[in-house]
Amino acid sequence: MTRRAVRPLLGAHFSISGGLHKALYAGKKYGCTAVQIFTKNASTWKERTLTNQDIEAFGLARQEIGITAISSHTAYLINLGSPEKKKFDLSVNALICEMARSHQLGIPWVVHHPGAHMGSGEAEGMERVAGGINRVLAECHGEGPRLLLETCAGQGTTLGHTFEQLAYITEKVVENERIGFCLDTCHIFAAGYDIRTEETYRETMHAFDKILGLDRLMVIHLNDAKRRLGSRIDRHHHIGKGKIGRKGFSLIMNDERLAHIPKILETPKKEGLIDWDRRNLNTLRALRKQNHP
């Protein structure tokens, strides 16, 4: 009997410039089986209303290319931990719009940074984040994408840099069956979770499973880290070129418990003449092949 190798769900975050569907075609060009997008300009508050044409073109591209493992990432300005009422309300509204757009596009996961408490304290910040999510989920009813809380680096006053914080926020969410998690390798490393050796990788994944549950891990961001373990500074680097190194990524790529989970690069794109998406994707594929001929 021949064993068919499972094709890993591997891809990158691609630009939507020129149309949302362009990101899917970019994914195809790189042989991706998973893609992440922003559904609007990620650095402004301005919302985007999808036209029927946007939705149709996206659906057609998905059908043609066959990529269904698609996540959207929320805009950077959103902060559900903000003590400023105006910012908080804007954030709730922006997240509602993001969930709605992703639902229209048939995207199953919305990846979201929990928020930053801006000096108001972790406990208060986490209460606000959970309160904001409750408002968003109540507004979006039971349908649509799952909201994934992303592990954060802990830069500044950002929340969600410990698995316990993510668990705490999730517990306060009324409809918490609609919450999942996105693990970012650079962020957890910056937050102090080591994955560079078999032993530390096992410990980190064990902690994740115990505190959050691997069954709720829906997307993985694969980024190497420019800064050291525990730096709490969020700087993504090319796979194998940073402080995590190839071994950590080999452990993830060959962990059968994670085989079905989409793995997305968020590393810098072009630098000089090198097409880094191609290079980083090839590095990851090669790391998997070592143990899966």
Q: Judged by CB under 5 A, does residue 277 bind Zn ion?
A: no
Q: Which stretch binds Zn ion (CB under 5 A): 101-109, 180-188, 238-246, 251-259?
A: 180-188
Question: In the window 147-176, what residues touch Zn ion (CB under 5 A)?
Answer: none
Please, what's the b/e burial string for 3-37 (b: 16 or more CB within 10 A of its CB; e: otherwise)?
eeeeebbbbbbbebeeebbbbbbbbeebebbbbbb
Query: Letter for the amino acid at 155?
Result: Q
CA distances from 104 to 9, 46, 55, 56 (A): 23, 18, 7, 10
Shortest separation between residue 113's beta carbon and Zn ion, angstroms: 8
**Gap between the Cα atoms of 229 and 195, Å rounded:** 10
What are the structure tokens assigned to 215, written together?
Answer: 């069954």
By C-beta, is 32 or 61 nearer to Zn ion?
A: 32
User: Which position among 54, 98, 184, 277 is part of the footprint of Zn ion (CB under 5 A)?
Assistant: 184
Q: Which is nearer to Zn ion, 61 or 212 (CB)?
A: 212
Neighbours of 168 (CB within 10 A): 19
Site for Zn ion in 253-272 (CB under 5 A): 266
Minimum separation from the CB atom of position 290 to Zn ion (A)? 25
Question: Among 237, 246, 250, which residue's Cα sits nearest to residue 276?
Answer: 237
Among 221, 227, 237, 263, binds Zn ion (CB under 5 A): 221
Considering only 32-40, 42-50, 182-190, 196-204, which stretch makes contact with Zn ion by CB under 5 A?
A: 182-190
Residues that bind Zn ion (CB under 5 A): 184, 221, 266
